[in-house]
Structure 1
Amino acid sequence: MALQRRIRFIHGQLAWMVATVLVLAALGSLSYSLFFLLSLLGLVILMELTAPTNVSPEWRTRLRWLIVFGLVGFAYVIVRRLLEILPPELFA
């Protein structure tokens, strides 16, 4: 039963990521950073929607580390975008 839930979780995440690629490609705005951010958003949403009420399996607690590293990557993308937008004289 636990393996079935894990496989269902993986299928849900893969479906979210494929849908993300298709929508971004249809809109003409497919980029690695946008795909990364939307995939991370999908992971967080899927984690909350499929959260068990009583006991959290060990594989779900390991996913929290993945989310933490994803948030670090998200912060990196945001800082990089801010540096592109802000004028260079601001940092001199």
Structure 2
Amino acid sequence: MATQRRMQFVHGQVAWMLATILGLSLLGAPSYELFFVSSLIGFLVVTELTAPFNVTPQWRARLKWLVLVGLCGFAYIVVRRIVELLPPEVLPW
């Protein structure tokens, strides 16, 4: 049963990422940042939709570290974008 749930999770994530690539290609806006953010949103959605009600398997307990890494990457992208928008006079370096 655990392997079936794990494969359901993996299939859901792969489907989301393929749909993201297709959607970004159709919109003519493929970029690594948009793909990363869209994949992170998909990862969080798939994680919640496939969460068990009673018991948390060990492999799902390790997903929190992937979520943490993804959120750190998202924070880096946001900070970089904010720095790009600020005028050079505001930045201390």
Q: TM-score range by the shorter chain?
A: over 0.9
Residue 88 of structure 2 aligns with an amino acid whose one-letter code is P
2:28 — aligned with what? 28
Residue 7 of structure 2 aligns with an amino acid whose one-letter code is I
Distance in 2 separating the partners of 1:15 and 1:78? 26
* Shift, 1:16, TM fit: 0.1
2:70 — aligned with what? 70
TM-score by length of 2: 0.96
Question: Is the helix fraction higher in 1 or 2?
Answer: 1
* Shift, 1:91, TM fit: 1.0
Distance in 1 separating the partners of 2:12 and 2:48? 13
How many residue pairs get aligned? The number is 92
Residue 74 of structure 1 aligns with an amino acid whose one-letter code is F
Residue 67 of structure 1 aligns with an amino acid whose one-letter code is V
Q: Which portions of structure 1, spanning 4 or more consecutive aligned residues, are displaced by more than 6 angstroms?
A: none
